[in-house]
Amino acid sequence: MPNNTQLFESLHADYYAMVHQMCLGFMKGDPDLANDLTQESFINTWRSMDKFKGASSYKTWIYRITVNTCLKYIRDNKQKKQVSLDSQIDLTSASNGQTNEQPHQELYQAIGQLNDLDRLIIMMVLDELEYEEIASVVGIKEGNLRVKIHRIKKNLKKILENE
């Protein structure tokens, strides 16, 4: 169907960087896993094209698909991959120690220590989404979101200062 194909190509072009950034956050900075999940998120977007009802923006819809894709991966692989993922991050961090990516790597590692919901919220904040849109994706009121963001930032600061 050319309409869906054109729309999908447009969505992919517009939101690829955003989806990849989200996946990086969920995968604690692991670029290979982030690439895989970015691809999986767009596969899921393609499969859901006919289900989009227009109740939200495409951006919010794709965020939700990306979050669900990442959370499903984490749930499915939590026990069997947790140890290897943590050691992989340590190796990546050590090998990239002399590059510009070190501050980002430390931030991703700190974000990786947050629970799933906090990780999702802070990644959307870093993507500079409006609080109203973040609240819509997460399913909480905007006032509650502001309190949560404040607590997440304090928690991240504590994590980064202790490393």
Q: How many CA atoms lie within 13 A of 127 on its CB side?
A: 25
pLDDT at 35 over 80: yes
Tell me the range of 13-27, 89-103, 122-136 where mean pLDDT is highest: 13-27
- Average pLDDT for residues 82-95, to the nearest whole number? 41
Among 44-48, 82-86, 114-118, 139-143, name the one with the lowest average pLDDT: 82-86
**Residue 71 Cα to chain centre, angstroms:** 9
- Average pLDDT for residues 7-22, to the nearest whole number? 92
- Average pLDDT over all residues of the chain: 79
- Average pLDDT for residues 21-47, to the nearest whole number? 89
Model's pTM, two decimal places? 0.61
114 phi/psi in degrees, rounded to 5: -80, 160
Among 45-54, 84-93, 144-153, name the one with the lowest average pLDDT: 84-93
pLDDT at 115 over 70: yes
